[in-house]
Structure 1
């Protein structure tokens, strides 16, 4: 028996040696293999530093950064202005993860007929802005300063815009206020197209409870504050509204004073995508436009990962069709906010949807070159 086991062991070793020898002769090592296309493979892969849609990372806050760009992607990791579930400070990471499926070499859109990454614009991911978690006032000033630093740079293609434009990855919706402040300094008064389940024009005493000026600036009051500061026109509009109101007459009157009309989520059933697009375009006209997309404009079935989800929202397909229909507007800035990845499903549905929305916003910026600033 012992002799038979020894013979079996010798046979196995012999076979292993034969397989190893054959393998070493037939398969080239990395050092021996041709490297043509190797760099291209890495350029197209989601490995390495995580950026939106694998676009190049630029050190946008450094004076040593001498590369130019036309559209900057900024992360705003902030959620201490939320009244619902926290977690949107991780939204920039979630959106970038959701965008890892997007490659510049294969991003031609079957609906628009455009590859936004091959349209003559340099798109840069500037990473996340440092925003302290301990003082909201300071954090929002830090974000505004980041916007100003981007606006102070020369663009790569000045036929698109005299300054680089910004798309913000939020962050809770409070982060739109610094963006509006910075955009107003460059472009003048703005019309806001606000995709959201909520109106976000509440008086600070209503949402901030009136306890302090600090508490009054939050994701439900920022549009009211923007109006009070003279940042926005009286030709702004909400789309996708469906959240309940505590004081309907007062809230709607205040919303109108802030310069807004609104399209409810169910209006889409009556007038369709084309009707929504027509109403949005008619409202803002030829003014400079800022587009803000709260991910909760989508139904929770399509975007569960958000702080204040509201049933009865739009589908991802409907929202993307509406956004693409806005081509021709003078879009000077945009954001996608309120993505809170901790509440997403295993398929990361919300992050993927948010990443696709960003791609539509890029399309709108590229389809409407801004030859001059106000």
Structure 2
């Protein structure tokens, strides 16, 4: 029996108790656990509509209906994994570089202990600090990035750190290996014809939303696996990857995206990759009155945790078979 697992909803109603992710115990430890759900309530990097600082609370609120068994992957998460809600990290609203230092410092012990952090943003600027912490343990990692934007612009208004620049900075700092990295779902209007070439010059492969719609889920998954191979992977998921019809609560929505079904199917195509970290970002509760965006984000996290459980199950079965 794993040490950390959710309260049993058949014994206590889901609406009772403190709102942690999936009703996991709120524990600050790096011992006896496989993953930690971490809130990073920072939105100073948002270039258009702020309010993502309230994303972690909303996603947690909308996670309480999630159950431990994954029907899609055929695995009971907590038969194989121990996990906690780690609470929120400290940030300084208005001070992005100071917040980066705090985020990096608080995530580093998790990576060092081999725990997989599952961070809830917050705007996408936070991922740079996460990658800095990951690189201390793993060196340059492969990046799997689901988004409608590449987030590789050089600056906004002369400022180098925003939610539109984290992967440009990460590549420049040597935190990611572009030759094993891929951005998936890119779409919408651009500033110039050369915008996508920025990612390509950084060595990162780009699959646009139109290409995915034409190729289908299976072929897209094959491209992802061929790119990443057996590298250690950080998975960054911007909720605006999902079409705004299914996830309206975000600050820079782009039409022509993906349904909830397509999103989950595309995530499962990555189930054989070697993940070391994950985040879901850009949930903006003020634009999400029915909670469907936060519900989508919570289910994305559940799908990712299920992938971790499936990998642990397979490793255990392989070891038992000799």
TM-score in terms of structure 1 length: 0.78
* Distance across 1 between alignment mates of 2:196 and 2:151: 11
Residue number in structure 2 paired with 1:242: 187
Secondary structure class of the residue paired with 2:75: coil
For the pair 1:202 / 2:153, whether they are aligned, the reply is yes
* Distance across 2 between alignment mates of 1:360 and 1:310: 23
Deviation at 1:352, TM superposition (A): 0.7
Residue number in structure 2 paired with 1:324: 268
Please, which runs of 5 or more residues in structure 2 have no aligned partner? Answer: 1-6, 316-322
Deviation at 1:152, TM superposition (A): 4.1
Deviation at 1:237, TM superposition (A): 0.9
Deviation at 1:43, TM superposition (A): 4.8
For the pair 1:312 / 2:256, whether they are aligned, the reply is yes
Matches within 5 A, 1:26-65: 43=12, 45-60=14-29
For the pair 1:185 / 2:136, whether they are aligned, the reply is yes
Once the two structures are superposed, residues 75-112 of structure 1 have per-residue CA deviations (whole angstroms, 9 ceiling, x without a partner) of 00000101121110001011101101113xxx322221
* Distance across 2 between alignment mates of 1:43 and 1:52: 16
Residue number in structure 2 paired with 1:83: 47
The structure with the largest alpha-carbon Rg is 1
Deviation at 1:41, TM superposition (A): 5.2
* Distance across 1 between alignment mates of 2:94 and 2:151: 23
Once the two structures are superposed, residues 135-183 of structure 1 have per-residue CA deviations (whole angstroms, 9 ceiling, x without a partner) of 1111111111111132344xxxxxxxxx111010010001111111111
Once the two structures are superposed, residues 302-359 of structure 1 have per-residue CA deviations (whole angstroms, 9 ceiling, x without a partner) of 000001011111111101011112111011101000001110032x110111000001
Deviation at 1:134, TM superposition (A): 3.1
Residue number in structure 1 paired with 2:126: 175
TM-score in terms of structure 2 length: 0.90
How large is the Cα RMSD of the aligned pairs? Answer: 2.0
* Distance across 1 between alignment mates of 2:94 and 2:183: 31
For the pair 1:109 / 2:36, whether they are aligned, the reply is no
* Distance across 2 between alignment mates of 1:102 and 1:91: 17
Residue number in structure 1 paired with 2:199: 255
Runs of 4+ aligned residues of structure 1 deviating over 4 Å after TM superposition are: 38-44
Matches within 5 A, 1:328-339: 328-339=272-283
Once the two structures are superposed, residues 245-285 of structure 1 have per-residue CA deviations (whole angstroms, 9 ceiling, x without a partner) of 11222x23321122211111122221111011111111111
Once the two structures are superposed, residues 192-235 of structure 1 have per-residue CA deviations (whole angstroms, 9 ceiling, x without a partner) of 1110010111112xxx222xxxx311111100000000011122
Pick from 29, 32, 38: which aligns with 1:74?
38
For the pair 1:265 / 2:186, whether they are aligned, the reply is no
Deviation at 1:301, TM superposition (A): 0.5
For the pair 1:360 / 2:320, whether they are aligned, the reply is no
**C-alpha contact 1:332 1:365 (8 A) present in aligned 2:** no
Pick from 79, 82, 85: which aligns with 1:118?
79
Please, which runs of 5 or more residues in structure 1 have no aligned partner? Answer: 1-37, 61-65, 154-162
Cα separation, partners in 2 of 1:289 and 1:39, compared to 1, 3 Å: closer
* Distance across 2 between alignment mates of 1:39 and 1:233: 41
* Distance across 2 between alignment mates of 1:94 and 1:274: 32
* Distance across 2 between alignment mates of 1:191 and 1:293: 14
For the pair 1:216 / 2:160, whether they are aligned, the reply is yes
* Distance across 2 between alignment mates of 1:298 and 1:80: 23
Deviation at 1:367, TM superposition (A): 3.0
